[in-house]
Amino acid sequence: MKKKIIMVLAMVLLAFSASASDWTPLITNLDIHPEILWGFCPVYIEGGVSYDGFELIEDRETRLQLIVGGGYGQRKLWQDPVTGESTEKIWDQPLIYDVGFANWALKFIQGFWESPWDPGSDLLQLSVAYEGRYEYSMDSRVAGETRANFGDPKEVLTLDQFLGAEGSSVYPDLLGNRQYLGTNFNLNLKFDLMADEIIENDGILLELDLNWSPYALNHALGGEADFYSIAFEAVGAKTIFSLRDADWDWFSVQVLDRMLVSWISGDKVPVYAQNDGSLGRQVRGFANFSYNRELTLVNNFEFRFTGPMLGTKLLYPRLIVFFDMGYGAGRYFNSDWSPSGDFIASVGASISITLIDALDLGYQISYLIDGYNYENGPGRFVGEFFFFLDF
């Protein structure tokens, strides 16, 4: 019997070793809590595994991904819990609360045709995903303390003080016991004509992203959701100067332009999805969860000055000079409030360290040409450290 067990274990180990190259570990997201170690320590991590041990189309990428994440964070929201309005009256005392959450996703990715700009890459990539999440919202760890936002410093309220015991329809995932168990379906199409490196970017990238979260699968606990979203993004890039050789990357100058059109609508748009459609999140220098309207039109234009490499072709310093503008229209989420359109714009610069073109750590300063950063009052200059991960 022992020999049989040893033989079975040996066969399992051999099979796993043979297929180990088909499995790739992933780290897909990190996030912080601003009140924990001044926001410099990630308290949320998301990752998983990707399997590409088979092909449905010869020489084209076929992948299955399992992604899980969990952690703890803070949210700061800017709509009146009764009317859904977002005005100066509410900016100086937003809803600030903490949330513990876990999320998971199962994703299928299939590539089609070879990109003429980046040999070996797929020209068209289709992905289909099931996404789930659980959230438990609680009073902020600084409830009762004083924090300054748009106006004079105000006391941070508890969830009951801000929303009432039953919650608010403006924040549907905070209803009842303030627990949310949700399901979302995602379809993504990516058309890739981009040669993409840290030191050089040339070409065009087009992406269409669709999400659907039906009410029937999003009200098992107290929190609720019922929404859909459509987003189209186009990125164009050109390297206008590059100094490099086979062994060393010295310096490059790139120009990039990104255009985004996003529509998010439904009777119950949960908070996590509100941030995806936030005009304030898309235009640099403004606050997350601000200018939360159904229709978002954004243009981000920037010059990138990259290099020299810091001992490896994976690590570079980078200076970005940018000009952003955005327009929002339609209803504010989960309300009937639909004032005239919002226009915001900013110009500024950031300096950062970039690792494998996915992890950026640095400092950004923005001048707000039009619009307000709800967290910083009527001042026009906004400076902030940033930590950005995008695999």
CA distance 271 to 276: 9
Q: Is residue 17 part of a domain?
A: no
pLDDT tens track for 75-123: 999 999 999 999 888 888 899 999 999 999 999 999 999 887 777 788 9
Band (2; pLDDT cuts 50, 70, 90) = very low
Q: Is residue 6 part of a domain?
A: no
Q: Is residue 2 part of a domain?
A: no
CA distance 254 to 306: 8
Q: Is residue 9 part of a domain?
A: no
Chain center to CA of 109: 19
Q: Which of 32-36, 116-120, 233-237 has the lowest mean pLDDT?
A: 116-120
pLDDT of residue 141: 93
Q: Is residue 81 part of a domain?
A: yes
C-beta of residue 326 within 8 angstroms of C-beta of residue 370: no
The count of structural domains within the chain is 1
pLDDT of residue 78: 93
Q: Which residue, 265, 272, 258, 260, is CA-closest to 293?
A: 265
Q: Which amino acid is at 277?
A: G
In three-state secondary structure terms, 159 is helix
pLDDT of residue 26: 81
Point out which residues pair with 124 in neighbouring strands.
112, 191
Query: Does residue 370 surpass a pLDDT of 60?
Result: yes
pLDDT tens track for 287-306: 999 999 999 999 999 999 99
pTM of the entire structure?
0.88
Average pLDDT in the chain: 89
Q: Is residue 209 part of a domain?
A: yes
CA distance 262 to 208: 10
**Rounded to 5, what percent of the chain is helix, strand, coil?**
15, 55, 30
Query: Does residue 387 surpass a pLDDT of 80?
Result: no
The CATH number linked to 272 is: 2.40.160
Give the CA-trace dihedral at 148, 143, 140, 228, to 10 degrees. Answer: -60
Domain span at 246: 26-389
Q: Is residue 269 part of a domain?
A: yes
Length of the chain: 391
